[in-house]
Structure 1
Amino acid sequence: MCTYYEVPGREQLVLHFGDLPEEEWRDKMSPLYRGPFLRAAGAGRRLVVGQWGMIPPNSETSVPRGKDGKRLATVNARREGIAKSWTYGGPWRRGQRCIIPAQLYVEPYWKDKVHTAWQFARADGEPWGLAGLWSEWTDPATGEVLPSYTMVTQVCDAHPLLKLMHRPDEKRPPHMQDKRTVVPLEKGDWDAWLHGTIEQAEALIQLPPVELFVHGPKEPNAKHTALSGFPS
């Protein structure tokens, strides 16, 4: 699951995603920070700002908690259980899908029993448009309406690169590791994700080709450089 990504710069946001929202956001995103996301607006689309970490319905606090009051991790939504999820089911059935702008995202590469932060950017230099869901929560104390969002994730056990991320489960065979990754959407599919039917949206949840990536160990302020091979 992805718990860190970086928002594209302002010029990139305007160029690829539209007019900037008035609210402030964080450029380096971690759970419960506020970031921009693209959602449908009538027949068009609009960038808005919300909390990364979807707030469950009827929650008494903006910090996601379950019906039993325990803290929930809601920055990632497993596509297999979205429709029946207490947190994600309503937004999914109502078509509240969104696109999350990311210049890069980070996953933990597991080697020699050590996690290395591994960053993924697009080889063409453009920002990612990652599939997500959004919702709105009203603070019962103040009446403030707070948008929130989550990234959709999919199994990547069969992907030659992405399957190398995350610690392997020694009790599971290689084809049943349940490794997870985000869902990149190409620009030509954005309107289908935002405005299409559930069936059309489900058809867009696909593993990306290896050629789409430029990747490597994450270093502060480092440029993305393509690797000649995969991590080993």
Structure 2
Amino acid sequence: MCSHYEAPSRQAMLEAYGLATDETWSTDLWPGYSGPLVRLAPATDPHDEAAPALEALAGTFGLLPAWAKDDKLARRTYNARSETVATKPSFRTAWRQARHCIIPAAAIYEPDWRSGKAVATRIWRRDGKPLSIAGLWERWRSPAGDVVHSYTMLTINADDHPLMSNFHRPGAEKRMVVLLPQARIKDWLTASADESAEFMRPYPADRLVAEHRPSR
């Protein structure tokens, strides 16, 4: 599971996704904060042979379904388990309607408990490019009438992953976010609901680096 991550720089967004934007968001992100998401531009035809157009926009980290009474729900909906996403009330509409997005991250943080206490660990791509996390997005209207976009990260079991199995409390199930290679990004964004499960696979451990974050 992931509740803390870093957004990439604007230059990294441009290089990785070809997107320049004036949207603003936090760099150090926690549930309820505003962060970047990448999705198909609204006018894009996914069946067009030309490369589909993408857009980057700011959204709340934590999915807000149409029925949410306020944005506090985001503190509990920042991760969606791939095994139950199709049936959980908070996520099932976005899953069934294939509201796929990419959540770009310079790095994610997970707790390493192997020493007997939680040690924050920074995890990033070995090549330095942004992590492309598979996610779902929603469009919510606040009680004040404002339109708010939001997103959640999809997760899978990581009990057997050489790297990600090192994190979280002893005895607890190990989880990891779904990371997509560059070549699969547009496939995910244009995939149908029936095709979504095909992308729920672990990312190779040798393409990631993990380092304990120095204590402050």
Report the TM-score when normalising by structure 1. Answer: 0.84
Larger Rg over CA atoms:
1
Answer yes or no: is the 8 Å Cα contact 2:97–2:193 preserved in 1.
no
Could you tell me how far apart the structure 1 residues matched to 2:196 and 2:67 are? Answer: 27
Letter in 1 for 2:57: V
| 1:59 aligned residue | 68
What is the CA deviation profile of residues 165-202 of structure 1, one whole-angstrom value per residue up to 9, with x for unaligned ones? 00022xxxxxxx52111111011101111111234331
Gaps of 5+ in 2: 45-51
Could you tell me how far apart the structure 1 residues matched to 2:214 and 2:53 are? Answer: 37
| 2:128 aligned residue | 125
Gaps of 5+ in 1: 66-71, 170-176, 222-232
Alignment of structure 1 residues 36-47 onto 2, 5 Å: 36-41=36-41, 42=44, 43-47=52-56
Deviation at 1:220, TM superposition (A): 7.8
What is the CA deviation profile of residues 12-42 of structure 1, one whole-angstrom value per residue up to 9, with x for unaligned ones? 1111123333331001111111001001111
User: RMSD across aligned C-alpha pairs, in angstroms?
Assistant: 1.7
| 2:94 aligned residue | 91
Answer yes or no: is the 8 Å Cα contact 1:21–1:49 preserved in 2.
no
User: Secondary structure at the residue paired with 1:91?
Assistant: helix
Determine which of 178, 201, 208 is the counterpart of 1:213.
Answer: 208
Answer yes or no: is the 8 Å Cα contact 2:8–2:27 preserved in 1.
yes
Deviation at 1:113, TM superposition (A): 2.0
Could you tell me how far apart the structure 2 residues matched to 1:124 and 1:64 are? Answer: 35
Answer yes or no: is the 8 Å Cα contact 1:102–1:129 preserved in 2.
yes
Alignment of structure 1 residues 169-188 onto 2, 5 Å: 169=171, 177-188=172-183
Could you tell me how far apart the structure 2 residues matched to 1:159 and 1:131 are? Answer: 18
Letter in 1 for 2:65: P
Letter in 2 for 1:21: T
Could you tell me how far apart the structure 2 residues matched to 1:33 and 1:161 are? Answer: 27
| 1:14 aligned residue | 14
| 2:170 aligned residue | 168
Report the TM-score when normalising by structure 2. Answer: 0.90
Letter in 2 for 1:45: L
Answer yes or no: is the 8 Å Cα contact 1:131–1:151 preserved in 2.
yes
Letter in 1 for 2:181: E
Answer yes or no: is the 8 Å Cα contact 1:26–1:33 preserved in 2.
yes
